Protein backbone atom coordinates (compact mmCIF):
# COMPACT_ATOMS: atom_id res chain seq x y z
CA UNK A 1 0.00 0.00 0.00
CA UNK A 2 2.80 2.32 0.93
CA UNK A 3 4.55 1.38 -2.32
CA UNK A 4 1.48 2.31 -4.35
CA UNK A 5 1.20 5.61 -2.48
CA UNK A 6 4.87 6.32 -3.14
CA UNK A 7 4.48 5.58 -6.85
CA UNK A 8 1.48 7.90 -7.07
CA UNK A 9 3.32 10.64 -5.16
CA UNK A 10 6.39 10.25 -7.41
CA UNK A 11 4.21 10.50 -10.54
CA UNK A 12 2.53 13.64 -9.28
CA UNK A 13 5.92 15.14 -8.49
CA UNK A 14 7.18 14.45 -12.02
CA UNK A 15 4.11 16.12 -13.51
CA UNK A 16 4.51 19.11 -11.24
CA UNK A 17 8.21 19.77 -11.81
CA UNK A 18 7.98 20.98 -15.44
CA UNK A 19 5.20 23.34 -14.44
CA UNK A 20 7.30 24.78 -11.64
CA UNK A 21 10.30 25.05 -13.94
CA UNK A 22 8.16 26.80 -16.56
CA UNK A 23 6.95 29.30 -13.98
CA UNK A 24 10.53 29.99 -12.98
CA UNK A 25 11.52 30.70 -16.58
CA UNK A 26 8.55 33.03 -16.98
CA UNK A 27 9.45 34.90 -13.80
CA UNK A 28 13.03 35.34 -14.94
CA UNK A 29 11.81 36.52 -18.36
CA UNK A 30 9.46 39.04 -16.75
CA UNK A 31 12.25 40.27 -14.50
CA UNK A 32 14.43 40.87 -17.54
CA UNK A 33 11.62 42.73 -19.33
CA UNK A 34 11.19 44.93 -16.27
CA UNK A 35 14.74 46.17 -16.79
CA UNK A 36 14.37 46.94 -20.52
CA UNK A 37 13.40 50.42 -21.72
CA UNK A 38 12.15 50.47 -25.30
CA UNK A 39 13.09 53.74 -26.92
CA UNK A 40 12.58 55.27 -30.39
CA UNK A 41 14.77 58.09 -31.63
CA UNK A 42 15.09 60.23 -34.75
CA UNK A 43 17.75 59.02 -37.19
CA UNK A 44 19.57 62.37 -37.44
CA UNK A 45 23.18 62.41 -36.23
CA UNK A 46 22.59 64.54 -33.11
CA UNK A 47 19.89 62.16 -31.88
CA UNK A 48 21.75 58.99 -32.81
CA UNK A 49 25.00 60.06 -31.15
CA UNK A 50 23.38 61.13 -27.89
CA UNK A 51 21.10 58.08 -27.78
CA UNK A 52 24.13 55.78 -27.87
CA UNK A 53 25.64 57.66 -24.91
CA UNK A 54 22.26 57.55 -23.16
CA UNK A 55 22.25 53.75 -23.48
CA UNK A 56 25.53 53.57 -21.56
CA UNK A 57 24.21 55.85 -18.82
CA UNK A 58 21.01 53.81 -18.53
CA UNK A 59 23.10 50.65 -18.17
CA UNK A 60 24.95 52.20 -15.22
CA UNK A 61 21.58 52.49 -13.51
CA UNK A 62 20.83 48.77 -13.95
CA UNK A 63 18.61 48.96 -17.02
CA UNK A 64 18.97 48.24 -20.74
CA UNK A 65 18.01 50.83 -23.34
CA UNK A 66 16.63 48.98 -26.35
CA UNK A 67 16.59 51.67 -29.02
CA UNK A 68 15.54 52.07 -32.65
CA UNK A 69 16.18 54.91 -35.09
CA UNK A 70 13.29 56.00 -37.33
CA UNK A 71 13.10 58.69 -40.01
CA UNK A 72 9.42 59.62 -39.91
CA UNK A 73 8.22 61.92 -37.10
CA UNK A 74 4.64 60.70 -37.29
CA UNK A 75 5.75 57.06 -37.08
CA UNK A 76 7.85 57.88 -34.03
CA UNK A 77 4.79 59.24 -32.23
CA UNK A 78 2.44 56.53 -33.43
CA UNK A 79 4.85 53.83 -32.20
CA UNK A 80 4.73 55.26 -28.68
CA UNK A 81 0.95 55.65 -28.91
CA UNK A 82 0.65 51.93 -29.75
CA UNK A 83 2.88 50.97 -26.84
CA UNK A 84 5.68 49.57 -29.01
CA UNK A 85 8.08 51.95 -27.25
CA UNK A 86 7.94 53.61 -23.87
CA UNK A 87 9.35 56.92 -25.10
CA UNK A 88 10.62 58.80 -28.12
CA UNK A 89 13.20 61.49 -28.77
CA UNK A 90 12.71 63.79 -31.77
CA UNK A 91 10.40 66.72 -31.12
CA UNK A 92 9.50 69.77 -29.09
CA UNK A 93 6.24 70.25 -27.21
CA UNK A 94 4.49 72.37 -29.90
CA UNK A 95 5.04 69.60 -32.46
CA UNK A 96 3.80 66.96 -30.01
CA UNK A 97 0.69 69.02 -29.24
CA UNK A 98 0.05 69.38 -32.97
CA UNK A 99 0.28 65.59 -33.34
CA UNK A 100 -2.09 65.02 -30.41
CA UNK A 101 -4.66 67.39 -31.89
CA UNK A 102 -4.47 65.87 -35.37
CA UNK A 103 -4.39 62.20 -34.30
CA UNK A 104 -6.32 62.32 -31.00
CA UNK A 105 -3.04 61.43 -29.34
CA UNK A 106 -2.27 60.84 -25.70
CA UNK A 107 1.37 61.91 -25.61
CA UNK A 108 2.90 64.09 -22.91
CA UNK A 109 6.30 65.65 -22.26
CA UNK A 110 8.14 63.60 -19.64
CA UNK A 111 11.03 66.08 -19.38
CA UNK A 112 13.06 68.54 -21.46
CA UNK A 113 16.32 67.41 -23.05
CA UNK A 114 18.01 70.26 -24.90
CA UNK A 115 17.36 73.63 -26.49
CA UNK A 116 17.98 73.90 -30.21
CA UNK A 117 17.98 77.64 -30.90
CA UNK A 118 16.12 78.89 -33.97
CA UNK A 119 17.06 81.72 -36.28
CA UNK A 120 17.10 83.23 -39.76
CA UNK A 121 20.12 82.21 -41.85
CA UNK A 122 21.39 83.09 -45.30
CA UNK A 123 24.13 81.91 -47.64
CA UNK A 124 23.78 85.04 -49.76
CA UNK A 125 23.48 87.96 -47.36
CA UNK A 126 25.34 89.06 -44.22
CA UNK A 127 22.46 90.87 -42.49
CA UNK A 128 18.71 91.36 -42.69
CA UNK A 129 19.35 94.90 -43.94
CA UNK A 130 20.99 93.39 -47.02
CA UNK A 131 17.84 91.54 -48.07
CA UNK A 132 16.69 92.98 -51.42
CA UNK A 133 13.13 93.93 -52.24
CA UNK A 134 11.13 90.82 -53.10
CA UNK A 135 13.62 88.52 -51.34
CA UNK A 136 12.48 84.92 -50.83
CA UNK A 137 12.36 83.58 -47.27
CA UNK A 138 11.86 79.85 -46.60
CA UNK A 139 9.81 78.91 -43.54
CA UNK A 140 8.48 75.63 -42.15
CA UNK A 141 4.98 74.58 -43.21
CA UNK A 142 4.00 72.77 -39.97
CA UNK A 143 2.06 74.72 -37.31
CA UNK A 144 4.64 73.91 -34.63
CA UNK A 145 7.31 75.89 -36.51
CA UNK A 146 5.50 78.00 -39.11
CA UNK A 147 5.10 81.07 -36.90
CA UNK A 148 8.73 81.17 -35.73
CA UNK A 149 10.34 82.85 -38.73
CA UNK A 150 7.56 85.45 -38.90
CA UNK A 151 7.94 86.35 -35.22
CA UNK A 152 11.74 86.52 -35.51
CA UNK A 153 11.47 88.89 -38.46
CA UNK A 154 8.86 91.00 -36.67
CA UNK A 155 11.07 91.25 -33.58
CA UNK A 156 13.90 92.40 -35.86
CA UNK A 157 11.67 95.10 -37.38
CA UNK A 158 11.68 93.63 -40.89
CA UNK A 159 7.90 93.06 -40.96
CA UNK A 160 4.97 93.97 -38.73
CA UNK A 161 2.32 91.60 -37.41
CA UNK A 162 -1.23 92.04 -36.23
CA UNK A 163 -1.22 93.01 -32.56
CA UNK A 164 -2.70 90.92 -29.76
CA UNK A 165 -1.96 87.49 -31.23
CA UNK A 166 -0.20 84.67 -29.44
CA UNK A 167 3.04 83.92 -31.31
CA UNK A 168 1.96 80.35 -32.07
CA UNK A 169 -1.21 81.66 -33.77
CA UNK A 170 0.68 83.89 -36.21
CA UNK A 171 0.48 83.08 -39.93
CA UNK A 172 1.35 84.94 -43.13
CA UNK A 173 -2.18 86.36 -43.12
CA UNK A 174 -1.27 88.34 -39.99
CA UNK A 175 1.49 90.37 -41.68
CA UNK A 176 0.31 93.99 -41.65
CA UNK A 177 3.44 95.64 -43.06
CA UNK A 178 6.08 94.17 -45.37
CA UNK A 179 8.23 97.08 -46.67
CA UNK A 180 10.69 94.83 -48.54
CA UNK A 181 7.83 92.85 -50.09
CA UNK A 182 9.40 89.63 -48.84
CA UNK A 183 8.03 86.42 -50.36
CA UNK A 184 7.58 83.54 -47.95
CA UNK A 185 7.92 80.00 -49.24
CA UNK A 186 6.56 77.27 -46.97
CA UNK A 187 8.38 73.94 -47.19
CA UNK A 188 8.52 70.73 -45.21
CA UNK A 189 10.74 71.08 -42.16
CA UNK A 190 13.08 68.35 -43.43
CA UNK A 191 13.72 70.33 -46.63
CA UNK A 192 14.58 73.68 -45.04
CA UNK A 193 18.35 73.30 -45.31
CA UNK A 194 18.18 72.35 -49.01
CA UNK A 195 15.66 75.11 -49.74
CA UNK A 196 18.06 77.68 -48.28
CA UNK A 197 20.40 77.13 -51.22
CA UNK A 198 17.98 78.88 -53.58
CA UNK A 199 16.35 81.34 -51.17
CA UNK A 200 17.70 84.68 -49.97
CA UNK A 201 17.26 83.59 -46.35
CA UNK A 202 15.40 81.02 -44.34
CA UNK A 203 14.44 79.62 -40.97
CA UNK A 204 16.68 76.95 -39.45
CA UNK A 205 17.40 75.44 -36.08
CA UNK A 206 21.02 75.57 -34.92
CA UNK A 207 21.43 71.81 -35.40
CA UNK A 208 20.20 71.92 -38.99
CA UNK A 209 22.37 74.96 -39.70
CA UNK A 210 25.43 73.15 -38.30
CA UNK A 211 24.86 70.28 -40.73
CA UNK A 212 25.39 72.67 -43.65
CA UNK A 213 28.36 74.49 -42.13
CA UNK A 214 26.61 77.43 -40.46
CA UNK A 215 27.06 78.42 -36.81
CA UNK A 216 24.22 79.94 -34.84
CA UNK A 217 26.39 82.41 -32.90
CA UNK A 218 28.28 83.58 -35.98
CA UNK A 219 25.93 83.16 -38.93
CA UNK A 220 22.35 83.67 -37.71
CA UNK A 221 21.01 86.98 -39.04
CA UNK A 222 18.52 87.02 -36.16
CA UNK A 223 17.55 84.62 -33.37
CA UNK A 224 14.39 83.64 -31.58
CA UNK A 225 13.47 85.19 -28.25
CA UNK A 226 14.48 82.95 -25.34
CA UNK A 227 10.93 82.72 -24.01
CA UNK A 228 9.75 81.40 -27.39
CA UNK A 229 12.43 78.76 -27.73
CA UNK A 230 11.01 75.24 -27.64
CA UNK A 231 13.29 72.67 -25.99
CA UNK A 232 13.23 69.14 -27.32
CA UNK A 233 11.46 66.71 -25.05
CA UNK A 234 11.17 63.04 -24.25
CA UNK A 235 7.56 62.08 -25.05
CA UNK A 236 5.60 59.24 -23.44
CA UNK A 237 1.98 58.26 -23.05
CA UNK A 238 0.37 60.28 -20.25
CA UNK A 239 -0.18 57.21 -18.06
CA UNK A 240 3.57 56.58 -18.04
CA UNK A 241 4.50 59.97 -16.63
CA UNK A 242 6.42 59.52 -13.39
CA UNK A 243 6.97 55.78 -13.91
CA UNK A 244 10.19 54.16 -12.70
CA UNK A 245 11.56 53.71 -16.21
CA UNK A 246 10.87 57.33 -17.12
CA UNK A 247 12.69 58.40 -13.95
CA UNK A 248 15.65 56.26 -15.00
CA UNK A 249 15.64 57.90 -18.44
CA UNK A 250 15.60 61.37 -16.92
CA UNK A 251 18.40 60.58 -14.48
CA UNK A 252 20.50 59.16 -17.32
CA UNK A 253 19.89 62.19 -19.51
CA UNK A 254 20.78 64.69 -16.81
CA UNK A 255 24.32 63.44 -16.59
CA UNK A 256 27.68 64.99 -17.37
CA UNK A 257 28.17 62.34 -20.06
CA UNK A 258 25.13 63.60 -22.00
CA UNK A 259 26.23 67.21 -21.62
CA UNK A 260 29.53 66.24 -23.17
CA UNK A 261 27.79 64.21 -25.89
CA UNK A 262 25.83 67.29 -26.95
CA UNK A 263 29.16 69.04 -27.51
CA UNK A 264 30.97 66.10 -29.08
CA UNK A 265 28.36 65.48 -31.74
CA UNK A 266 29.12 68.96 -33.14
CA UNK A 267 32.90 68.95 -32.77
CA UNK A 268 32.97 70.53 -29.32
CA UNK A 269 30.67 73.44 -30.21
CA UNK A 270 27.69 74.55 -28.12
CA UNK A 271 25.05 73.86 -30.75
CA UNK A 272 22.74 71.98 -28.39
CA UNK A 273 22.19 73.54 -24.97
CA UNK A 274 21.22 71.08 -22.19
CA UNK A 275 17.76 72.00 -20.93
CA UNK A 276 18.63 71.29 -17.30
CA UNK A 277 21.47 73.82 -17.00
Rounded Cα–Cα distance for residues 153 and 119 (Å) = 9
**Mean pLDDT for the stretch of residues 224-253:** 96
pLDDT at 226 > cutoff 50: yes
Strand duo 136-140 + 201-205: pairing: parallel
Residue 117 has pLDDT above 50, yes or no: yes
pLDDT at 4 over 90: no
* HSE-up of residue 154 (Cα within 13 Å, Cβ side): 19
| Domains, in order of start, for the chain | 35-116+230-274 (3.40.190.10), 118-228 (3.40.190.10)
Residue 11 has a pLDDT of 44
- Is the pTM value of this prediction over 0.85? no
Residues of the chain above pLDDT 70, percent: 88
Q: Is it the case that residue 143 has pLDDT exceeding 90? A: no
Amino acid sequence: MRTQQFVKLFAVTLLTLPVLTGCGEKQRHNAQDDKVIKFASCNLKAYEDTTKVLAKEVEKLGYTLQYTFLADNTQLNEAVERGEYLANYHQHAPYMNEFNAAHKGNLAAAFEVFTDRAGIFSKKHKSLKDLPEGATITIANDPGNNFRALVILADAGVIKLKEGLKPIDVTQKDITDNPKKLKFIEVDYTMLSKALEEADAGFLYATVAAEIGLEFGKDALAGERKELQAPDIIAVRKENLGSEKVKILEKAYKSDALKQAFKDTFGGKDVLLPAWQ
